[in-house]
Amino acid sequence: MAFHSGMNSSRDQQGWIEISACLIALTPKGLPILGALFQLLRLGRISFANKGVQTKFKIGHQSARNKIIIWEEIGLLAQDGTRPSEHGGKPVNRYVIPDPRVTRIVERRLFDVDDIEADDSFSE
């Protein structure tokens, strides 16, 4: 799996950073963060609600909420207000990726989506 660095380096003329290079520096504490990051990249959005997570991962609302809670605790996600519900009633929480580095990776698609979706080693 590889991420695009956004610039060409002397070692890699295509500009891709191999994920194995990232894993070398990670401690066991960092692996859950990396797994959560991969899940956010799979989602492919910088702003979303619980329903977007449910649809992408084909899970129920409580499972989606649990993912969102984990992402918030790690710091990869922040609540950014509410929006009216499609069905009326209680407003729906809106979430965003607060880190501009992660936002840039998602917006510019600096990763291989097929590669991330094929790799289930970081799935819950």
Q: What confidence tens digit (pLDDT) does each residue in 45-89 have?
A: 999 999 999 999 999 999 999 999 999 998 889 999 999 888 888
Instruction: Give pTM, 2 decimals.
Output: 0.68
All residues at 6 or more sequence positions from 99 whose CB lies less than 8 Å from its CB, including other chains: 75, 76
**How far is residue 120 from each of residues 37, 38, 73, 111, measured CA to CA in Å?**
13, 10, 22, 16
- Asked if residue 89 belongs to a domain, the reply is yes
> Residue 83 is part of a domain; what is its CATH number?
1.10.10.10
- The count of structural domains within the chain is 1
Domain containing 17 equals: 2-118
- Asked if residue 123 belongs to a domain, the reply is no
- Asked if residue 25 belongs to a domain, the reply is yes
Q: What is the mean pLDDT of residues 6-17?
A: 49
- Please report the pLDDT score of residue 11 as a whole number: 45
